[in-house]
Amino acid sequence: MNLPGAACLVTGASSGIGLATARALREAGADVVALGRDRAALEASGGRPLVCDLAEDGAAARAAAEAGPVDVLVANAGVGWAGAFAEIEPETIERLVRVNLTSALELTRALLPGMLERGRGHVVLVGSIVGRVGARDEAAYAATKGGLAAFAESLRQELAAAPVGVTLVTPGVVDTAFFARRGTPYARSFPRPVAAERVAAAIVEAVRDDRAEVTVPRWLAVAPRLRGLAPGLYRALASRFG
pLDDT, residue 242, reads 64
Give catalytic status of residue 186 as yes or no. Answer: no
pLDDT, residue 238, reads 81
Determine whether domain 7-241 maps to CATH 3.40.50.720. Answer: yes
Q: What does the domain layout of the chain look like in residue ranges? A: 7-241
State the catalytic residue, choosing from 81, 141, 151, 178. Answer: 141
242 residues of the chain, pLDDT tens digit each: 999 999 999 999 999 999 999 999 999 999 999 999 999 999 999 999 999 999 999 999 999 999 999 999 999 999 999 999 999 999 999 999 999 999 999 999 999 999 999 999 999 999 999 999 999 999 999 999 999 999 999 999 999 999 999 999 999 988 776 766 766 766 666 678 899 999 999 999 999 999 999 999 999 999 999 999 998 988 888 887 66
pLDDT, residue 180, reads 63
pTM recorded for the entire structure: 0.93
pLDDT, residue 193, reads 85
Taking the C-alpha atoms of residue 225 and residue 233, their distance in angstroms, rounded to an integer, is 12
Taking the C-alpha atoms of residue 70 and residue 5, their distance in angstroms, rounded to an integer, is 11
Residue 140: Cβ within 10 Å count: 19
Q: Which of 83, 80, 230 is nearest to 144 (CA)?
A: 80
